[in-house]
Every structure is written in C-alpha cells, then in structure tokens.
Amino acid sequence: MKKIKGSCLCKNIVFEIFNECRYSVLCHCTMCQKSNAEFSNYTKVKKENFKFSKKKNLKWFNSSKNFKRGFCSNCGSSLFFQSRLSNGEIAISSGSLDSKVPVKGHIFYKDKKSNLTFSKLHKKYSQSAQGF
C-alpha cells in the first residue's frame, strides 16, 4: 500500500494518505492569496484514503458559503481545503506532504497575482475548482 505522510510545521497535526495522491494544482484564487501565499498548491484525495495520526490544534475556518479551510492554531500552517457539504474529498496543501506530488495545472488562473511565469505548465483551468 502506497503511503504518504504529512504534517504542519510544529507537528501537532500529522496525517497519512493511503493509495492515492494523484497530482496537485496551483490555485491562484483571491482567498488562497490571503490565507496561503500568492498561490497555493493543493492535492485532493478521497476521505477514505486519508487518516489523522494527530490533530491537536486543528481548527476549521468557514472561508466561504460552501468551503472551509483547516489550519494549525499553534504554528499557523494552512493545511486543508474542504467542501462544507460532505462530498467525501479533502484537499491537502502539497507543501505539508513529506513526498513530492506532480503539479498538473492551475485553477483560478485569471486571478494570478504573481508575475512569475509557469512555462512548463501549459494546462490552465478556468475560474473554477472543477478542474481539480
């Protein structure tokens, strides 16, 4: 069984992904700009393939009508993005993982703030998280 581990900076939140970690996308939406950095890098897995080993200090912030963001209230690491409706999936900040995940493309590219170019990533998604 393929297993990928991840954690926040202070390791009060530790988790594992089993059998799955397809790819990640760079999200340029204005909410990620505020909560992560100029853009975020998320991978998404089924909840059944995700397990917390430790979740001390895990807090959820309802960032919009339909979505919430999970973070560590001790070290401030922004870790998760999840639908508030239960759709059985959880998006995980790729930077929190102890393994590399290939970046496949972009979402909300029109909102991109950085002047960085991403010449190796030709695939761009529209103004939605659907391509994720």
Per-position x/- string for 76-95, each x denoting binding to Zn ion as judged by CB under 5 A, each - no binding: --------------------
Report the nearest approach of Zn ion to the CB of residue 58 (Å). Answer: 9
Question: CB within 8 A of 8, min separation 6: which ones?
Answer: 14, 57, 71, 72, 74, 75, 77, 79, 96
Residue 55 is inside which H or E element, if any? strand 50-55
- Find the shortest distance in angstroms from Cβ 73 to Zn ion: 8
At 37 the three-state DSSP class reads coil
**72 sits near Zn ion (criterion: CB under 5 A):** yes
Q: Answer yes or no whether residue 75 interacts with Zn ion by CB under 5 A.
A: yes
Return the DSSP state at 125. Answer: -
Nearest-angstrom CA–CA distance, 122 and 68: 29
- 8 binding Zn ion? (CB under 5 A): yes
Residue closer to Zn ion by CB (options 41, 77) is: 77
Could you tell me the smallest distance in angstroms from the CB atom of residue 12 to Zn ion?
A: 4
73 scored as a contact of Zn ion (CB under 5 A): no
What token pair was written down for 109?
């590219």
Residues lying near Zn ion in the complex (CB under 5 A): 8, 10, 12, 72, 74-75
